[in-house]
Every structure is written in C-alpha cells, then in structure tokens.
Structure 1
C-alpha cells in the first residue's frame, strides 16, 4: 500500500510537471506567433521599411529587436512576460506611435510605495507611502538598487520597454514607474536601494505590495509634471491666454474664439499659446490660430512658401483598407476630410496598378520656406508658446511652426516623433493584444521632429498656472 501511495504521488507530480511544460510551450508558441505577426505588419505596412525609402537604421534596429523578442519568447511563461516581450519589440522602432497594447491588462501591479520623478539628471522620490517603514524618503535621490547605479537601472527597465531613452521628455514620463513592478520578468525587481539626501546616504529595504492601477494613476500623473489647461481664450495680467490642451474637436471652439478676438489678440502685449498636456490630434487647428496671430502673409511665406510636398501613403493592402475606412467613417461628420481621403484612395489605386509603393513622390526639395525676408508678424506683442513634456505627434508640428514663425518657446522640452504619420493598430493572432504601425510619410518634414528645447526653461510645477503666468511676464520683460 505504501509503495502504491509513493507511485501515485510520483504520477501526480509527473502529470503536474507535464501540464506545466505544456502550458509553458503554449506561451512560447503564442508569443513567437505574435512577435512574427507584429514584425510582418511593420515590414509590410510601415513606410520606412518600403523599398523606396528603406530606412537602413530602423531596419537594423527592427532585426535586432525581433531576434531579442524571439529569444525572450522562449522564456515566456505568463501574460506578464508576453506583454514585456511585445512592448520591447515596439520600443525598438523609436517612435511612440508604434506600441503594443494588451486587450485586458491586469487590474493591479506591485509597487514599493515609492514614486520617483525625473528632476534634472536625477531620479528623486516625490512620494513615499512609508507606513511602518521608518522615516519618509521624500526628496531623496535614488543612487542605486541591488548594486546597479540608478541611471543604468532606469535605462534597462524603462528605456528597454517604456521609453525612447534618448528623449528626455520620455524619461520624465516613465520615471514614476521605476519602482513599480508590472511583472516584467526581464528586468530587475530590486530588494534594496540606496538613497541620498543632504549628502547622507540611506539603505532602504523595499516592501513590495499590490496596488490597483486606478489608485496608482494619480500618483503617476503628479510625478510626470504636466499641465492641464483645458480649452479656451481668456485674459491674464500680461495680456491674452489661449489654452489648447488637445488638437481634437475641442479645439474648434478655441479657433472660433481666436478669430472673433483677432483684433484684441493682435494688440495684446503678450499672447500665450498654452499647449500643456497636448498629445496631438489635427495640426490644422494650430495652423489656424497661427494665422490669426502672425498673419496670412508671414504664415504663407515661412510655412507654405517653400516646396509643397504632400504626405504620401504606402499602398499596402491593409493601409489602403484603412484609407477606405476613413472615407466611409467621415463622410457625414467631416465631408471635406472624407473627400480628401477619397482622392487619396484613387491615387493609391493608381499606384497599385502601376506597381508603385506610395501615393506620390517620396522626395522633396530641402527648402522649407520661401526665399527672401518674411513679412513681419501681424500681432504687435510677443507670441509665447508654452509646452510641457506631453507635447507629441501633431503638437510637435504646431510647436515647430510656431517656433519658425518667431514665437518665444517656454516651459519644458517637448517629446519627439519621426516623419511618419497615420497610426493604425491591428489585433494580433493570439487575441491578447494589439500592435500598431505607421502608414504615411511626409517627405517635407524633418526626419526627427523634436525634441524642441524651450528658449526659457521652467523647472517648477507645470500644473501651477498662476505661477507660470507671473514667470512668463518676467521672461518676456527680460528680453
């Protein structure tokens, strides 16, 4: 009987082990399949990887990233490992428009009760939920974790999965996640970290515990140091203030208000265009406000006066299907855009019939503005552009235009993107996540748009509008 019990236990253990092996193999296959599908999506649809453009640097990064992702796939045994593998693959593209997104992310993560913020060149503790852990570490700078220096730890954990590490804005955005554990098995989960404050170093043992993502979110937002001005036009002590937090439909009313107040804006000693928190949308709203402030003559000379090179789409089957969907989707709500897409689809069909990869030329003369001196701006006062680290996508186009037109750029440095546009995400074969690509190319744009560094940098709280108003008045008065 005893021998039978031992045999039964052994068989149970074997069956459990076999089941675990089968489960692990399923994760390996599932992850490999999605890695290859995402890779093919980029190869077939991203403009940079076409024969006509053939961005060798991006192609090399993608091949290296694919090899690493397949290596990681062989180690994946959970949804967390899967998510990290796909995030790492997306990150090698070097443009936040390319992402991996889980269909159903976990409701909670682990954290050490510590939220760090990027301040200058350091990662500083902004918040410390230190119940039962002794003195608060708030204000202390992170020196190292488990013997790994803070910069190296952050570059591996955040720069490999969450951020393009060469862009300071993305270091700021990702810094609060440094001591948050989402289950990524390919990065360090430290046990002990060293912090420094007032020249004194403290070794701190981390106490990891669960926190709901919804509870974590407000801590993350505070540490990212962004503003949220909303939308509208108002006065302030120094002049007029235009709040433009997005470039979506909410911006329509701002454009209308700017046109109605054109005389007041042009006579104001200072006009601030506040784009804090702006992650993009349609740059046309920013262009319309720029025309109000700088005048059509200056805008046309500086922005429209050089070579006119249209955005062109890569005519892969999936990209063309997306173009057709835009035509249908906006037929009633935005007939002008729908008409533009209908003409783009016609060009795509002609390109396909002729064996061309794009709807138009992929080369453009380098000159961005007309020759000769531009006309003076119409506004008599100082135009000030205010940004924070959230400025991305179409916000970058608007920021570039305002800077070229002569606006004084203040606040924080912007994020950065590339000269590829029109993002689309597709479900991957596993059904666990989506993966995105870009579909169009702007031959007249800079290869990397941003980051744009302000002429006057603000190192305070970007959410404190009252303090920013006074500071901007001082900056303008000093110039």
Structure 2
C-alpha cells in the first residue's frame, strides 16, 4: 500500500471561526513560531536522526539562529512572514513547509517599476525578458535583463525569489515564480533592484527603476503575459482521435473528497472498459494540474490495464522505508485508522505501522524500519503485455509527490513522457500537519524517509517531447500528440 496521507489531517486542524488576532509584538511572534517549527522538526522529522544526512541538523540550527536574529528587529507582518517562509524554504523540500498562514488583519500591497519580466529559454539558456510594460520610460517588451546593482540576472532572481520559493535549482520552480522578479511585496530581508541593465536589440542600456503601487488588476494582466497558468485536467476517461484519454488532475487520498469520488468512478470505468483501452492505438495519462496525493490511484489503474504482476515487476521501488517514531507521528497514524477504517487493506497497513512505531518507541529507537511485505522483485510475466496501446504521460511543471510516483511507474511500464519538465521532491515523505502555538501558521512535517529510492532528491522528469504552448489548450495538445503518436506508429 502506497499512500500520501496529508489530505486526511484536515479534521484535526479545525480552528475557531474567530480570526487570529495580530500579535502585540511581531518579533516575539517570529521567535515563537520559528522555535516551534524547529522543535516540531526535531520531534517528528526523520532528518534529525538520519545518519545518512549529516548536514540536516547544522542546517536546521543555522536556520533557527537566522530567524531568531531577525526577530530582534521584526515589527511587521512582512518581517514575520518572509523570515519564516525563508526558513522553511531553505530545506529545499516540498514536503517540509509552512502553510495556513493567518491573515491577522494584514492587507498585502505590492509595488513595481512599470514592467514585468518572464522567464524564457532558448539556445543560450534562460533569460529574464520584459513581457509586460506600462511605462514608456521602462525597458521595452523584448528587452533582456543583464543584471541590477552589481548582481547578475540569475543571482538577482535567486536572491529576490529563490530564497523564499526554495528548490531554486529546479527549472520548474524558476519558471513558476520568475514573473515575480520585479514585484516588490516589501520583503525586508532582500534588497530590491534600483539600477538595472537590459539588452535592447544589440545595445546595452541602463535603467533607473521607479517603483510605484501595483494594482491587482494590472498585476494579474502582467502575470498572464509572463507565464502559462496551470490547468487542471478533469478526472475522466474519454475518447480522443488517437484512442483513449485518462484525465488525472488530482490524486486526493480521501475517497470522500470530490477528486476521490471522481477517481473511484474512473477506476470503475477503466475496469469496465479495460479491454477496449488496452487495444486502443494510444492512451494518454493526463497529469496536468496534479500536485500529488495518494499513489494508490495510479497503482490501481496501472494494475487494471497492465496486470498486477507486471506492475509489481516493473515498479521502481525504494530499498527500505524508515519511520520517525515520535508520539505525534504515532497519534497521527491512529487518527488515520479511524478516518480510513472502512478500507480493510489500508486499515491493515496503518495498523502494522502503528504497532511498529509503538514497539520501537518502547525500545527507545528513533527510527522504525517498515517490513517489506512484498515478494522479491520478479521478472515480468512471460508472454506479451496485455497493454497493447502506445502510452503517453503528459505533465506540467507542478507535478510533484504522488504525481512523480505516477510518472516513475508509467515510464517504467513503457510510457513516453511529454509536456513540461516536472518538479522534484526528496526522500522524506508522508506529511502530517501541526498548528504551531498561537494559531498563526501550520507546520507540515514528513514522517518517513525512503532508502535507496531510484529517483534522487529533487530529481525531475524531463519530457522526451516538450510542450511550449498554453497548458489549457487541450485541443492543441491533442493535435500535437496525434502527430507524435503517428510518428511513433510508423517506427
């Protein structure tokens, strides 16, 4: 059983309807929340006791020291928010984060210099190019940023955006957030640009930036020009010109959620039409908009179409799984048993984990290794695969967590990856959520770590064929894929 269980923690996080008040002292709030985040990690994250990651604890302590130093001068919501966000992002782990930020009466405002840039790629690599302008004195559209105030364009983006976004080494993260490079949300811990150089045609021109208020409507228009918004594929089974199309825009682990009910219906539809799908010329697994959830959904769909034996034989597997044996992690698993007790297989899996964590705690062991209940990897079943169709897996740059697991599996089963380069994740998994004292923010803490996972930390999937159009252009994507599939059929 492979699950991502964070979706089930919502009931435990119910908060009073009354809004959280602003603290009397923002510095005190920052110090309290940074310390509480640190302590939750020490208590429940595998990292602090992971001998295979000796750099984790020094990083954890250095980040706390930085946040506490900033707390000495913090006096605003922005001081509090950006310091905490940078601490969380510094781990470069999409599963370790802060969320559920309380508004506390704060009204976000932003400034801009009259233009916005977008990240573009070409033979010379990435470039920050002006894609939207409302100031004749600003660099024109098409101008390419060289640098600002002695910082190269790449260094400027890493400082202004990357420190708060995290995982800046991933092209997907840079593509998602690059359009905010010249949006000033009053982060006090970075130095906004003042004097910049742009390449305009064959010339290099200096520009003194004039910052002014950025209205929401103008910001939204500019962002639309700067990047291709994400599109969430409907969860569905339908025909297309090349065969069958399986939409998988979400993997919410809760069967009672909207996605969960749609995925349950989809599984039934695939089971009923399995022979038709297998014999189609081509099958597309559309993961646009999928940011993760439970891997159980893709495992069940794949087993239906390829056979359970073939899926088990070809699935990329970690060598082992170690769980952190904290009291709060154990309590979380016990909560999941109540929430998911209607599924006998899942209940048995959770019971085994709870029993193992409990026994390890009694013995004083900080980690518990989950027994491998699967048989040793066997050769694929003899004879041809029941899946005759050419298979394609379509992703966008936000594909993470269980979505990455789906790409791992489908590629192992022979699918060709198309679309955009995915995001990446680390081997720390299975998130639980914990509101920090004061009710201002929620910590999301991984409870287990994979050992020997074939896909490395923050390793992405790069498509064989890249889609550079709008993600919402389903008709265009279908026509593009039809051409790719026709070429594949001729080989």
For normalisation by structure 2, the TM-score amounts to 0.82
Inter-partner Cα distance in structure 2 for 1:412 and 1:321: 39
Inter-partner Cα distance in structure 2 for 1:312 and 1:217: 44
1:160 matched to which residue of 2? Answer: 163
Tell me the secondary structure at the aligned position of residue 245 of structure 2.
strand
Residues 355, 312 of structure 1: alpha-carbon distance in 2 compared, 3 angstrom cutoff: same
RMSD: 3.2
**1:315 is matched with which residue: 325, 330, 338?**
325
1:9 matched to which residue of 2? Answer: none
- What is the Cα deviation at residue 336 of structure 1? 4.5
Tell me the secondary structure at the aligned position of residue 60 of structure 1.
helix
**1:124 is matched with which residue: 125, 129, 133?**
129
Tell which structure's C-alpha radius of gyration is larger.
1
Residues 231, 85 of structure 1: alpha-carbon distance in 2 compared, 3 angstrom cutoff: same
The yes-or-no answer on 1:229 pairing with 2:233 is: yes
Tell me the secondary structure at the aligned position of residue 424 of structure 1.
strand
Inter-partner Cα distance in structure 2 for 1:59 and 1:285: 35
- After superposition, residues 417-428 of structure 1 pair within 5 angstroms as 417-428=425-436
Residues 70, 390 of structure 1: alpha-carbon distance in 2 compared, 3 angstrom cutoff: same
2:35 matched to which residue of 1? Answer: 36
- After superposition, residues 83-162 of structure 1 pair within 5 angstroms as 83-101=81-99, 102-104=101-103, 106-112=106-112, 114-120=115-121, 121-128=126-133, 130=134, 133=136, 137-162=140-165
1:254 matched to which residue of 2? Answer: 266
Inter-partner Cα distance in structure 2 for 1:391 and 1:293: 23
The yes-or-no answer on 1:245 pairing with 2:249 is: yes
Inter-partner Cα distance in structure 2 for 1:449 and 1:166: 9
Does the aligned pair in 2 maintain the 1:100–1:433 contact within 8 Å?
yes
What do residues 332-370 of structure 1 show as CA deviations (whole Å, max 9, x unaligned)? 5x56434432332222211112222234359999x9953
What do residues 376-406 of structure 1 show as CA deviations (whole Å, max 9, x unaligned)? 4322221001111010111011111111121
Inter-partner Cα distance in structure 2 for 1:152 and 1:323: 43
Structure 1 alignment gaps of length 5 or more: 1-22
Does the aligned pair in 1 maintain the 2:41–2:48 contact within 8 Å?
yes
Does the aligned pair in 2 maintain the 1:246–1:281 contact within 8 Å?
yes
1:175 matched to which residue of 2? Answer: 178
1:189 matched to which residue of 2? Answer: 192
- What is the Cα deviation at residue 277 of structure 1? 1.1
Inter-partner Cα distance in structure 1 for 2:247 and 2:97: 29
Structure 1, 285-294 or 367-376: larger mean CA deviation: 367-376
2:416 matched to which residue of 1? Answer: 408
Q: Which has the higher contact order (CA 8 A, sep 6+)?
A: 2
1:77 matched to which residue of 2? Answer: 75
Structure 2 alignment gaps of length 5 or more: 1-21, 253-259
Structure 1, 453-462 or 266-275: larger mean CA deviation: 453-462
Does the aligned pair in 2 maintain the 1:118–1:172 contact within 8 Å?
yes
For normalisation by structure 1, the TM-score amounts to 0.84
Residues 477, 162 of structure 1: alpha-carbon distance in 2 compared, 3 angstrom cutoff: same
Structure 1, 183-192 or 411-420: larger mean CA deviation: 183-192
Residues 157, 448 of structure 1: alpha-carbon distance in 2 compared, 3 angstrom cutoff: same
The yes-or-no answer on 1:297 pairing with 2:309 is: yes
Tell me the secondary structure at the aligned position of residue 158 of structure 1.
helix
- After superposition, residues 334-349 of structure 1 pair within 5 angstroms as 334=343, 336-349=345-358
Residues 114, 263 of structure 1: alpha-carbon distance in 2 compared, 3 angstrom cutoff: farther
- What is the Cα deviation at residue 201 of structure 1? 4.8
Does the aligned pair in 1 maintain the 2:89–2:166 contact within 8 Å?
yes
Does the aligned pair in 2 maintain the 1:302–1:368 contact within 8 Å?
no
- What is the Cα deviation at residue 46 of structure 1? 0.7
Tell me the secondary structure at the aligned position of residue 448 of structure 1.
coil
- After superposition, residues 50-61 of structure 1 pair within 5 angstroms as 50=49, 53-61=51-59
- After superposition, residues 380-399 of structure 1 pair within 5 angstroms as 380-399=388-407
Inter-partner Cα distance in structure 1 for 2:449 and 2:24: 40
Inter-partner Cα distance in structure 2 for 1:320 and 1:414: 32
Inter-partner Cα distance in structure 1 for 2:355 and 2:373: 22
1:434 matched to which residue of 2? Answer: 442
**1:459 is matched with which residue: 452, 463, 468?**
468
Inter-partner Cα distance in structure 2 for 1:254 and 1:198: 52
Does the aligned pair in 2 maintain the 1:34–1:429 contact within 8 Å?
yes
Does the aligned pair in 2 maintain the 1:62–1:92 contact within 8 Å?
no
Inter-partner Cα distance in structure 1 for 2:429 and 2:359: 21
Inter-partner Cα distance in structure 2 for 1:307 and 1:31: 38
The yes-or-no answer on 1:263 pairing with 2:293 is: no
